[in-house]
Amino acid sequence: MPRANLSTHFILSAVCPDNKSKIEYIDTNLEGFFVEVHRSGTKTFYQRYIDGHHRQRQMKIGRANVLTLADARKRAIQIKADVFLGKDPKQPKNELRKIPTLKEFVVERYLPYVQQNKRSWKTDETVIRLHLLPAMGKFYLDEITAQMVVKMMTDMRAEGYANGTCNRPVIFLRYMLNLASDWGIPNLERNPAKKVQLFEETQRQRFLSPFEMRALMNALKSDENVQAAKAIELLLLTGARRNEITQARWEHMNLEQNTMLVPLSKSGKPRTISLNKAACYLISRLPSRAESPWLFPSPTTGRPSPALYYPWARVRKRAGLTDLRLHDLRHSYASNLVNGGVSLYVVQQLLGHTNPGTTQRYAHLEQGTLAKAAEVAAETLKSAVDKR
């Protein structure tokens, strides 16, 4: 390899011999600094050095048609200084190569992880696919900014999504970026989604009045899908979650002890549902007992119906309760308990809430019950006084 006193004039006039595809001209003034000249005429500055493992390495500085010779020398000197101080000059570039786009991270790292560790991973996949990836999937993780996150939220709200729906992608993004940082992906010291203010969500609490309950029961009794109607009635009688009823199996029923086992609840643990007499009577009269392992098999597939969407839409329309969600039956069950004087602690156990704070949403109902109880005490005292 020829050596030369690299100068601006030399760089401009340097050519590659016809019998070679490229040639290196090594600088006589700065050790390891050289320019590589290709037959095509391309000229590139490099710096060679010995790394911490005593291996000879070289680092590309840049094209001669972009960098001046003086700038290339400054960068070469900086590379030699980094090596002398024990740093790896290539570390910044290597770290940048380790940073995936959001889409790459979701597909290659996040979804495989949550599929093994999160029962509701399909919800994650849906929210990410519909909202996060269209908004910022092409950007590298360290390019994502708080402004991008806010824009995604405001765009979603402009499209008519509820505040809670707009907040979900942000919550998932926070979690994903925290995982990426924990897994050693560089340049993620700050989570841009962390301090983004979420939209205020109104906790919906819809309870059935006695009149509405009668209308619902009448609609259930007249519905053509008897299996689905019985499943919905059982939801109202037990306060169970939809999947706990639609996926119920006969082997988990113990009608002698008035219990139903849920092998895997929302918390990831088994739980036992206490059955009242009306629920036990309904279950005991189901025709599927001798025909299927499921309480509510589909008449067409024999498998349980996962959503009850169409029967529920038909029933609530017939009952004149078009704003009623299936999950509101669980709220109504809880409100009936609290209004009947049952303590929040017992309600928590019956609903299978692992967090007492979740049951606190019914605390205002308990206050009404307590107020009635206090009036009973006053009336008792008044009655005693009047008899004197």
**Residue 237 falls inside a structural domain:** yes
Instruction: Specify the amino acid at residue 162.
Output: A
215 or 202, which is more confident: 215
What is the CA 366 to chain-centroid distance, rounded?
33
Distance CA 144, CA 226 (A): 51
For residues 135 and 29, membership in a common domain is answered with no
**Residue 192 falls inside a structural domain:** no
pLDDT tens sequence across 274-316:
999 999 999 999 987 778 899 998 877 778 876 788 899 999 9
pLDDT tens sequence across 33-89:
999 999 999 999 999 988 877 888 888 889 999 899 999 999 999 988 888 887 877
Query: Is 0.85 topped by the overall pTM?
Result: no
Q: Is the pLDDT of residue 267 over 90?
A: no
**Residue 365 falls inside a structural domain:** no
Instruction: Specify the amino acid at residue 27.
Output: D
> Pick from 129, 102, 124: which is nearest to 113 by CA?
124
For CA atoms 164, 169, 171, 172, give the dihedral sign: positive
For residues 222 and 166, membership in a common domain is answered with no
For residues 151 and 236, membership in a common domain is answered with no
* Residues recognised as catalytic: 241, 266, 327, 330, 353, 362
Distance CA 175, CA 270 (A): 26
For residues 109 and 164, membership in a common domain is answered with yes
For residues 48 and 155, membership in a common domain is answered with no
Distance CA 327, CA 329 (A): 5
**Residue 369 falls inside a structural domain:** no
Q: How many domains, in total, are found in the chain?
A: 3
Q: Is the pLDDT of residue 225 over 70?
A: yes
CATH code of the domain covering residue 297: 1.10.443.10
What is the number of other CB atoms lying within 10 angstroms of the CB of residue 149?
22
**Residue 96 falls inside a structural domain:** no
Average pLDDT over residues 355-366: 76
1 or 110, which is more confident: 110
Distance CA 220, CA 232 (A): 8
Q: What is the pLDDT of residue 1?
A: 75
pLDDT tens sequence across 235-253:
999 999 998 999 999 999 9
374 or 258, which is more confident: 258
Residues of the domain holding 67: 3-89
For residues 216 and 292, membership in a common domain is answered with yes
**Residue 113 falls inside a structural domain:** yes
For residues 299 and 220, membership in a common domain is answered with yes
